[in-house]
Amino acid sequence: MTKIISLLKRRGFVFQSSEIYGGFGSCYDFGPLGVEMKNNIKKEWWKEMTRYHDDIVGLDSAILMSPKVWHASGHLSAGFADELVECKKCHKRFRTDEINKNCPECRGELTKPKKFNLMMKTFIGPLENETTQTYLRAETCQGIYANFKNVLDSMRVKIPFGIAQIGKAFRNEINPKNFIYRTREFEQMEMQWFCNPKEADKFFDYWKEERMKWYLKLGIKKSNLRFKEAPKKELAHYARKAVDIEYCFPFGWHEIEGIHNRGDWDLSNHSKCSGKDLTYSDEKKFFPYVIETSAGADRLFFSFILDAFCEVEGGRTETTKSTKEKEIILKITKELAPIKVAVLPLVKNNDQLVKKTKEVFNLLKSHFTCQYDQAGSIGRRYRRQDEEGTVWCLTCDFQTLEDNTLTIRERDTMKQERKNISEIRNFLKEKLDV
């Protein structure tokens, strides 16, 4: 973990939020490469949901909603609360499911457990009182249920169909931990599948398999993934059935995505509380059941990084072998890699060569995420690009000036091929399937 967190900072993937002020409450910022990679994860998910499944439409609802939404959804009652205890000596608070008898920090005596609601409060407008209080959303899907009728009326959809949404969610977690694994502000990618109650079990199994296939397609090792069914007593307040997709983190197996059968909990409660008819009419009226797939973009980002992290003792290139350094390679799949192509002049002190290399860079930059890099020896630059997960390095050398060819080096195999500059764009387009 320490090695990976330091790499993510060093290479501009993840920074601690408000670091210049000593950091802030388990919040993190995604740096220049981190935001590229997280955007790629979201893009792949969006493509999978809304393009490959033509019966799913997208939505982007507001983070702030009427507090009535959260009363109806059950998030303001005991169901969406953690039990916590406080140490009488050091006053730190812990979730009861994470401790034994005494304070894990100072061994002090603990108070009796108390329920602690996880909704983040805020106020709308200049007055701060009960009438202006609302909440930052704790899950994106409530915006989907609140818009169910709007989508139904505007999009000519028929059940079974889905609504997908990506966006920020907030929870006042008592014990955020494990870097970006559990934070108070995070991003969810949720899809709600509305179906006939009779078909709910069938679609639950379908979505469970579809989601697992997506992780495997994007390169996560099969041995690092598993399903875990939630026992009845651990089900969330809205769920009839739930299975988690778990990833094998360095701190153990933990959930990265939940697949839930939410029954008609949400639509029927919103219908009751809003007074609006949220039933679906087929031969008769009924509340559709909801099968939900709910993944955290930040947790997925973390799993993709962990799975791609590879360290070679003694190095694999001549430069590292001679200094006996360890070499790090981020073997991220080409779809998710933040930078697809680095364009490098062999040396930086030859104007003609630099000019030619910049021409290649300009030729490619509107098609792929590219980086121009001339700082340091070519061996060092290859190493830096390997650590950033860049899939290909294109190097222009003196032969380029003579015959318009350059070398293309592939990150994982380090195989180098010479190609004509005129072929490069199509070669990369084909490889990246864009």
CA distance 72 to 87: 34
26 binding ligand GAP? (CB under 6 A): no
CA distance 333 to 389: 9
137 binding ligand GAP? (CB under 6 A): no
255 binding ligand GAP? (CB under 6 A): yes
256 binding ligand GAP? (CB under 6 A): yes
* Token pair belonging to 381: 């630059």
Residue 36 buriedness (CB in 10 A; 0-12 / 13-18 / 19+): buried
* Of positions 73, 117, 134, 294, contacts ligand GAP by CB under 6 A: 294
CB distance 297 to 190 below 8 Å = no
73 binding ligand GAP? (CB under 6 A): no
258 binding ligand GAP? (CB under 6 A): yes
User: To the nearest whole angstrom, how small is the minimum distance from the Cβ of residue 268 to ligand GAP?
Assistant: 17
User: To the nearest whole angstrom, how small is the minimum distance from the Cβ of residue 176 to ligand GAP?
Assistant: 7
Strand partners, 328: 311
CA distance 143 to 192: 11
| Residues of this chain, 166-185, that bind ligand GAP according to CB under 6 A | 171, 173, 182-183
266 binding ligand GAP? (CB under 6 A): no
CB distance 188 to 145 below 8 Å = no
* Of positions 44, 190, 266, 386, contacts ligand GAP by CB under 6 A: 190
82 binding ligand GAP? (CB under 6 A): no
3-state SS of 303-358 is HHHHHHEEEECCCCCHHHHHHCCCEEEECCCCCCCCCCEEEEECCCCCHHHHHHHH
Nearer to ligand GAP, 294 or 385 (CB): 294
**What does the angle CA 77 – CA 83 – CA 86 come to, to the nearest 5 degrees?**
130
Give the residue at shortest CB distance from ligand GAP: 296
User: To the nearest whole angstrom, how small is the minimum distance from the Cβ of residue 74 to ligand GAP?
Assistant: 12
User: To the nearest whole angstrom, how small is the minimum distance from the Cβ of residue 184 to ligand GAP?
Assistant: 7
Interface with ligand GAP by CB under 6 A: which residues? 139, 141, 171, 173, 182-183, 186, 188, 190, 255-258, 292, 294-296, 298-299
